[in-house]
Chains A and B, each alone.
Chain A
Amino acid sequence: DVKVTQSSRYLVKRTGEKVFLECVQDMDHENMFWYRQDPGLGLRLIYFSYDVKMKEKGDIPEGYSVSREKKERFSLILESASTNQTSMYLCASSFEAPSGPQHFGDGTRLSIL
């Protein structure tokens, strides 16, 4: 079974802080993704990576950056957290993109106060 692990289930941070969300997958997948999910807005892609050190912007990259130094790990960084970044953050990985299925981690519910 594919295992995608996100470092925290719940996280509370303050406005202006730099926030790191970590994601690790154990299936040697090339492709990794970061989404946020908000009521009424569905799943929105923030960034994705198709190889080590490679990244592409998704639909809503503003205020975020990512890092992929190793194949199994994909980090999402909130450069200066703001209250409108309070959300559920979901990491996913896939072996084959775009045709292959994406497998999600458990999610991180992030609150910015």
Chain B
Amino acid sequence: QKEVEQNSGPLSVPEGAIASLNCTYSDRGSQSFFWYRQYSGKSPELIMFIYSNGDKEDGRFTAQLNKASQYVSLLIRDSQPSDSATYLCAVNPVDSSYKLIFGSGTRLLVRP
């Protein structure tokens, strides 16, 4: 059973701090990695994707991928109260053909 694990949280950080969200996955051959943000009652919104080892930056967001250790992280710099949401990690296992496996999400709370 392919798995994607996330700490459910809540992860509480003060406004302006760096929020670090982590995700581990079980399938070593996984190819593609995605981070989604989901506000309460809303649908998931894609914020980052990464395919290669290392860091990928987009504005205040940085995705970090370490395939050897099988984890992917999302850093949010200068966290704002509007960043308070659940963050879902999704992974494409090597043999899934079309599927993504989603983690259950980490709830982030940014305190003003």
Contact = CB atoms under 8 A, between A and B. Distances in A.
Interface of A: 31, 40-43, 45, 48, 50, 56, 58, 90, 97-107
B43 A98 contact: no
Summarize A's interface: helix, strand, loop or mixed.
Answer: loop
A90 B97 contact: no
Interface of B: 31-32, 34, 36, 42-46, 49, 51, 88, 90, 92, 96-100, 102-105
Contacts of A42: 88, 102-105
B72 to A, nearest CB: 14
B97 A98 contact: yes
Given A42-B104, A43-B88, A58-B99, A99 B43 contact: no
B32 A104 contact: no
Given A90-B43, A90-B44, A102 B32 contact: no
Nearest to A103: B46
Contact of B100 (A40, A41, A98, A106): A98
Nearest to B92: A98
